[in-house]
Amino acid sequence: MDMSSDGKIWAISLDVHTDNREESVEVYERRGDTYYPLGQVLKADYETVTNHEFGMGTNGVTLSGDGKVLIVGALAYENMYTTDGTRVFGFVLMVRTKKGLDLLEKVAKPRRFWRIYGEISLWVCTFAMFLVALVVVLAFVGALLSPPDVDPPSASELVAIPGINPVIPLWWGLIGFIVALVIHEFGHGLLARGHGMRIRSFGLLQLGPLPLGAFAEPEGEELFKAPRRERQRMFAAGPATNLFASFVLLILLGGIAGHFATGDQSIHVKGIVKGEGADNAGMLPWDTIETINGTEIVGLEGFRDAMDEIKAGDWVLIGVLHDDGTRETVNATLSDKYTYYQDLGYSEEQLETLSVSPGDPFLGVEGLSSNTVGIDRIAGPLSPNYDYSTLQRTIIAPFHVVTIMIIPFEFQGVAMHPNEEAMLEADDTWLGNLVGKEGLLLLVNLMFWLMWVNVLLGFTNLIPMVPFDGGHMFKDMVHAGLSRIRALGRKLKLWNFHPLWVDQISRKASNLSSLGLLFILLFILFIPYF
């Protein structure tokens, strides 16, 4: 018996008889000069025993070629029967608890329902997994053919840690990650119980107060021996629950969006084109256009109607409301939109497609938007300000859930620009009257960041590489495919692969996939540095 110092990682190697599957070895923990028994390891298989736990995460237990059981990666623990535990891996804190298991047991009772849920989850995640892999490969090919001409990301931008990554705010990020991690692991736990597998505990990995990951500990032997389809469902349930939760949150956001009103029906500009009429007249970004030549501007249609009455070269009087609350009437001379776009490199065919003709007036503003654009962008097709049919909303919603991922990058870590928030008001409904504008904005930020983190966690876990759920799913998919090929060969009497060959090839395919994708991801991340 060989053990390291107190409370640290230990290893033990004992001789066993390879022909006796019921043989067991006693496992001890050293504390001080005393050895405490932790339990026994049963040699359940002459080849491999995996995922055997002693109340502290997953310990790798394998049978070596010389007939010895080797146990590695275990941590000292007070005793194997303790309900809750906290341990430190360097700077990483692992918190384990049995709290929530009773709730899990109650929720998981309709076993048939959760098996159906698992099957749906598997189909959804299989499609999403291959979509994620395709996106990663296309990004890799794009980086090879056309290396990005951008500044390399900073070290803080490479880690998805709230408060460290500049696009993930500390408190909203913490709330989002904790909730997303909990429902992710609860999804795993529900499917495990739905198929009769026991859950030992739930756990959370933390870097100080920051959540890094979570886990649901099934009985390792039960997971290892479970039918392949059941195991796939369990792996898929975690990311699927995150994705399904994001759709529920989007529906809630759509409902909240309906309780916002705008102070007026004017439009604002996000950008001013340097050297054009608006710039020369003194207009500024986020100015609200209230009137043109004395005519009140109501929405984008009102702006287009007013511009249809003007031609290039004319001058106009524009009533603007600056973001500091002051009003001003400015005199702007309009340039030719056709000439402006030609100078940008647009062809005549492109301009014809855009319905831009010579003599069309150009004020020199960009990003014309209604004053509800902030909440409309977040709620997407479920915003009441968009005139979509139910079918259109249903089709667009899945794509919108993915596109919301870019919002924090566009607005430097916020869901809405402060100027967009300032343009909103609470409407005269029960919720608007109850919580007011600040309460509505609080709910919007909560729902947005919960949705954003759930989408991030769901798709990240579907990357087909170990240790992500997608990696385990991919391995079982390869095994299933090879097993079908083997069965077909036996039926046709053309070939008969050995079962161990199927295991070996599926394991190697999983390893190669994981290494290949790891290389691709690292290449995409670090090529800007070169």
Looking at the DSSP bridge assignments, the partners of residue 19 are: none
Q: Are residues 109 and 209 in the same domain?
A: yes
The pLDDT tens digits of the residues spanning 235-277 come to 999 999 999 999 999 999 888 888 887 666 778 888 898 988 8
Q: Are residues 93 and 220 in the same domain?
A: yes
Is residue 450 exposed (0-12), middle (13-18) or buried (19+ Cβ within 10 Å)? Answer: buried
pLDDT at 76: 30
Three-state SS at 291? strand
Q: Are residues 283 and 324 in the same domain?
A: yes
Are 441 and 432 in contact, with CB atoms under 8 Å apart?
A: no
Q: Are residues 419 and 468 in the same domain?
A: no
Query: DSSP secondary structure string, 496-519?
Result: ---HHHHHHHHHHHHHHHHHHHHH
Number of residues that make up the chain: 530
Omega cis (within 30) before 467: yes
The pLDDT tens digits of the residues spanning 388-437 come to 888 888 888 888 888 888 888 888 888 888 888 888 888 888 888 888 88
Is residue 89 very low, low, confident or very high in pLDDT (cuts 50, 70, 90)?
A: very low
> Among residues 47, 64, 82, which one ends one of the domains?
82
Q: Are residues 305 and 436 in the same domain?
A: no
> What is the rounded distance in angstroms from the CA atom of residue 99 to the CA atom of residue 192?
17
pLDDT at 69: 37
Q: Are residues 201 and 95 in the same domain?
A: yes
Residue 324 CA, distance from chain mean position: 37
Scanning the structure block, which residue is given the tokens 């956001």? 253
Task: Indicate the pTM of the whole model.
Answer: 0.73
Are 177 and 162 in contact, with CB atoms under 8 Å apart?
A: yes
What DSSP designation does 98 have?
-
Q: What is the CATH number of the domain that holds 272?
A: 2.30.42.10
Q: Are residues 51 and 173 in the same domain?
A: no
> Among residues 337, 370, 403, which one ends one of the domains?
370
pLDDT at 452: 93
Q: Which domain holds residue 358?
A: 267-370
Residue 469 clears pLDDT 50, i.e. is over it? yes
Sheet holding 85-89, edge to edge: 85-89, 92-97, 199-207, 210-218
**Assigned domain for 287 exists:** yes
Q: Are residues 24 and 69 in the same domain?
A: yes
Scanning the structure block, which residue is given the tokens 């391995």? 475
Q: Are residues 355 and 453 in the same domain?
A: no
**Assigned domain for 25 exists:** yes
Give the residue with greater pLDDT, 463 vs 152.
Answer: 463
Give the residue with greater pLDDT, 373 vs 502.
Answer: 373
**Assigned domain for 375 exists:** no
The pLDDT tens digits of the residues spanning 332-391 come to 888 988 888 888 888 888 888 888 888 888 888 888 888 888 888 888 888 887 888 888
H-type alpha helices, 288-429: 299-308, 337-343, 348-353, 373-379, 390-403, 407-410, 418-422
> Among residues 38, 61, 82, which one ends one of the domains?
82
* Identity of the residue numbered 265: Q
Residue 55 clears pLDDT 60, i.e. is over it? no
Q: Are residues 181 and 96 in the same domain?
A: yes
CA distances for 327 relative to 279, 283, 287, 296, 363, angstroms: 17, 11, 10, 14, 19
Q: Are residues 30 and 122 in the same domain?
A: no
Q: Are residues 274 and 233 in the same domain?
A: no
Q: How many domains does the chain have?
A: 4
Give the residue with greater pLDDT, 407 vs 93.
Answer: 407
